[in-house]
Amino acid sequence: MWLADTPAPAPAGGDAVPPAPESTPQEAVAREPAQNEAPAFSGPSVFSAAVAALEAGRDAVSEVRDDLEFEEWPAPQRLAPHAAAIGATAYRDGDEAGTARLMLLYDPAGREGWTGTFRVVVQVHADVDEEMAADPLLGEVGWSWLTDALDLHAPGFGAPSGTVTRVITEGYGAKEDDPPTTAFELRASWCPSDDDIDDEISGAVLAWSDVLAAAAGLPAQPPGTRALGQRGPASRGADARRRR
């Protein structure tokens, strides 16, 4: 798992925050929480737990699918104070059929347009035949792959946003004899519910994997494997949607 932590920005006026002086052992002990006082959770500790949930979702998919292969991916460094990223490749009959990336962003202060402190950003790309690429409903169908998968695996999602693009590639010059290819690409983001953040982040990975499988023409669930179904009560999704 690739992680990225960006330094806190300098305050207005451009002056950097000076480093805190080293404390004596006595001062350090004095700052420890009292026995009855619950220590505050820092941003990094919350993010570390979220990354563990991301990895748990990845591992759950890996246990039941051998047609999706996960890999480390460099995390973005400028989108949020904390970020993690993974990539995936789909294989159909041994050949590469699609690729995808997922980024988990965390800002303890939240962001404008976010419904919480986390944001999931995904990209899915897969080659499709010309007939499918020409279907005027491709965008609607592609978006429903995502929303249906989120309803199943991460129903607390909020503020979804995204695009579905038809990609046509034609060769010229030395590649003029290459046949044209058509592809499907989905780019989307949403906020997992902070109320059930571990399940929501693990579920986001499951949903993202389902979209990649659908775009690559793979079965929703490989035959003979246990289903990865909804992770929480069915009512949670309806409640979450009422909150949005």
pLDDT in tens, 193-229: 988 999 999 999 999 999 999 999 998 876 555 555 5
Phi, psi of 39 (to 5 degrees): -70, 145
* CB-based contact 190:120 (threshold 8 Å): yes
Burial of 117 (0-12, 13-18, 19+ CB in 10 A): buried
Give the pLDDT band of residue 118 (cuts 50, 70, 90): very high
What mean pLDDT comes out for the span 22-46?
Answer: 39
* CB-based contact 3:83 (threshold 8 Å): yes
pTM of the model: 0.74
Distance CA 242, CA 158 (A): 10
What mean pLDDT comes out for the span 51-60?
Answer: 96
How high is the pLDDT of residue 229?
Answer: 52
What mean pLDDT comes out for the span 147-165?
Answer: 96
136: CB partners within 8 A, 6+ apart: none
DSSP 159: E
Query: In one letter, which amino acid is 61?
Result: V
Nearest to 189 by CA among 203, 202, 199, 204: 204
